[in-house]
Structure 1
């Protein structure tokens, strides 16, 4: 047609118009659409909840044998992977535990199975204390006590996952063990609680400053006196006391006692000895010998008189005169 637009826009408009006519021609009428929808609802199956991968009977049979013995190895499938999810197994075991009467023999087996299954949770909690000097197996044993307490107190009806409930109980038992049994020195409870805050502030300040924080920085962060921070740092390291007689490898095998200084009892007499030596040099030969025999050789006046060939009375007068001059520090020049 003359004057008609034959560009891309016109082609796109024509295609849209043709498409709309085709859709209008093929779309079913309202009654047909309703019938088609009803048929589709009739043919489509209703949605069903997913079936559990492991029914409770299979879960219990995986860990408890027909003879009633505990077999945690039954949880492992091919390749060592867990055959049953631990959370699912824990939930099923708690449900079974709630069904059993208190005096049922199976109750102890189910409880033992719960402990065995959740031991990895105890080991995970124990890794937080690997920087301490205690053996890891001892920490795991203490954490297992917390796990047992958590199992006995847990109430599944509250809708809380067991690991969420048990982990604080396990950590609390381990912290109580370090607080009451590990320290060889008694530390006040106030400093033990303050050490938790100080150690947390040290980690945060280390990240912020990129270095170990100083005592004033920790005190300013916690708004406590610097003296409390220093006392807390000393208390935090007071876990074990080193033996004074134990050999130190980095010190060439010397014991700590060998490297500690001590107060010399003769140190205070050094000045006196030096002064006496200076005065003795000024004595005549006979008087110096009398002093040496009396106070250094520990001879009596009778023995000195026999040694020098003079009377004891004369020796006594000479000693009295010598000591008087030594005390006054006077010169022996006449």
Structure 2
């Protein structure tokens, strides 16, 4: 059987990847920071035998040698999906707290695979639209060709550090493959805002992913008086992102490619309009019907054709994403 290592198994995207890997018949080992999280994931897949789904503990992905033991396996791994990303609430020092961990977390697993897992054929790395976007000067069309031009100096500004960390980490991955010539190739998945149903057994309302917080705020009535600015106008459903990761190991020609995975444009007003239609019980919490849309008339274009043509992704309609996200949040008490 084909065996996959999935890092960061309790993350928002990774939890959905676990489901798809099982559906597609892969033997899956996922990394978590604690046995408690590992057991919780296994408990919620009671019909999956332990030889098909198991976990290993990696306490800190940014530590030197963090993955050295995790990548060793009998039978050995064929593929690695690297979604784990160091996460810090308290950024005192942008380099020490954010940039170094992001870059080292990515290069660390590639080094470990090269040294200890020679059977691995491909590594799929979760990157981000943050590594593509140019917030100072949007191009006419965003595609995989674009790179965020952020400099190391600019990265030291707290407002830039997240986007910079994603950019430098992805660049470090491509440079590693170019210089080290390992047995594996890589592919990267670059999503913008990731919406979609939360995995109820891993998430509370306080611990949902950043992108989904706007849905929680909406259904709790926090947007009733005034609809906040949309901010970033492109999104993708978490289930489509998860499928893209799995397709990137299933499709031979995905190797050596970046994939800009986005379903298209949205606004906060559109979320409200769909919520009104699919969840009428929320009416008293929602802003007024005549709240204006803030989608700019000259918004940049997007080219997601590679994800469709190579990976075969058919993006879900926004109404399905919004409705399912709201329902999943209601299940955990929103």
Q: TM-score range by the shorter chain?
A: under 0.3
- Decide which structure has greater strand share: 2
TM-score (norm 2): 0.20
| Higher CA-based Rg | 1
Q: Which has the higher contact order (CA 8 A, sep 6+)?
A: 2
TM-score (norm 1): 0.20
